[in-house]
Structure 1
Amino acid sequence: MIGKLQRPVDFERVLGRQSRARSAHFALHHLAAEPAPSAWHAAKLHTAQAELSTGDPQPAHSTVEHAPPRAPSAPVEGCWVGIVVPKRHAKRSVTRQLLKRQIRAAFAERPGMPPGLWVVRLRSPFDRQKFPSAASDALRAAARAELAKLLDKAMKPKPEAAG
């Protein structure tokens, strides 16, 4: 399962860690955890369990989105991917969207990714002299090839530090 990171708190948790792999244009961050529970879901559950003032208390129904709390030692399941493509590195929205689509496709092609939170960050712009079109096939191919190498690099186990 590949989910989508959307909450700022999850991005902060992952980006606060050192990058797991880097390439010329991208940085890949990973945290073996699940997304933080949403405050909206907690508020919704609280109001669902409250007594109604119009009569007998109604049985509270759990929402579909709410998952039971996990044990701290339980293994993490599923991948959640967050994408950071800042305007300062990709001025045109067409280019930003192209890069986001390529990042999602690169993760979809790799079903064996370790579970947890993943954030791919564009850390430097692609050369506009080399790729003058905002959504060229050349840019698409270059981004896809670089992302494939980046994910392959991230999948390799880190060498143990001697010391």
Structure 2
Amino acid sequence: MIGRIQRPVDFERVLARPSRSRSAHFALHHLSADLAPSAWAAAKLRTAQAELSTGESQPVHNVVEHQPPSVPNGCWLGMVVPKRHARRAVTRTLLKRQIRAAFAATAGIPPGLWVVRLRSPFDRQKFPSAASDALRQAARDELAQLLDRALKPPPKREAAT
């Protein structure tokens, strides 16, 4: 199962890296790491250890640290589909579903954080309907090519003699 990146700090870490693969409309970024540790767990621990001002000290309850539902070597997916490139919510939802479907259908995805970013809009003259079958197929094909290029091992360089 592929987890979802939800915290801004995780998006920032991945998008700070150069894109691993690009197509006409999408860019794919990858960071081979786990989610960032939660910052608020430390704050909760400090609060639990503080003394209460109500007189007699009460027992301090152990704080259960919130852990994201992660597998140590899990695959996490984030999507950036801005309104400036897909004006209608129907189109943004269609593209997000196609991105999730493309990742689910692709075998052999290395673990880490993955972000797919829509970098340019689809031509409204070619796809006048916000959620047409033609747009769905075009996005599906382009995402499949994007993932194939990203997962293909880099070509070996020949040693200079």
**Structure-2 change in CA distance of 1:66 and 1:106 (3 Å):** closer
Q: RMSD value over aligned CA atoms?
A: 2.2
**Mind listing any 5+ residue stretches in structure 2 that lack a counterpart?**
none
Quote the Cα distance in structure 1 between the aligned partners of 2:91 and 2:19: 23
**Structure-2 change in CA distance of 1:41 and 1:162 (3 Å):** farther
> What TM-score, normalized to structure 2?
0.84
Quote the Cα distance in structure 2 between the aligned partners of 1:53 and 1:162: 71
Indicate which of 131, 139, 149 corresponds to 1:153: 149
CA deviations 1:30-52 (Å, max 9, x no partner) are 01111111223332343345455
Instruction: State the partner residue of 1:89.
Output: 85
Is the counterpart of residue 137 in structure 1 residue 140 in structure 2?
no
Question: Shift of residue 93 of structure 1?
Answer: 1.2
Report 1:1-163 matches (<5 A).
Answer: 1-50=1-50, 55-65=57-67, 77-161=73-157
Q: Determine which structure has more spread, i.e. the larger CA radius of gyration.
A: 2
Contact persistence 2:28–2:114 (CA under 8 A): yes
Question: Shift of residue 28 of structure 1?
Answer: 0.3
Quote the Cα distance in structure 2 between the aligned partners of 1:66 and 1:45: 17
Secondary structure of 1:99's aligned partner:
helix
2:131 maps to amino acid: A
**Structure-2 change in CA distance of 1:124 and 1:48 (3 Å):** same
Secondary structure of 1:65's aligned partner:
coil
Contact persistence 1:14–1:117 (CA under 8 A): yes
Alignment coverage as a number of residue pairs: 155
**Mind listing any 5+ residue stretches in structure 1 that lack a counterpart?**
68-75
Quote the Cα distance in structure 1 between the aligned partners of 2:123 and 2:46: 51
- Higher mean alpha-carbon deviation, 40-49 vs 80-89, is at 40-49
Contact persistence 1:84–1:119 (CA under 8 A): yes
Contact persistence 2:5–2:78 (CA under 8 A): yes
**Structure-2 change in CA distance of 1:51 and 1:85 (3 Å):** same
1:107 maps to amino acid: F
Quote the Cα distance in structure 1 between the aligned partners of 2:52 and 2:111: 41
Quote the Cα distance in structure 2 between the aligned partners of 1:148 and 1:44: 43
Q: How many percent identity over aligned positions?
A: 72
Instruction: State the partner residue of 1:72.
Output: none
CA deviations 1:89-128 (Å, max 9, x no partner) are 1111111111011111111222421001101011111111
Quote the Cα distance in structure 1 between the aligned partners of 2:92 and 2:68: 32
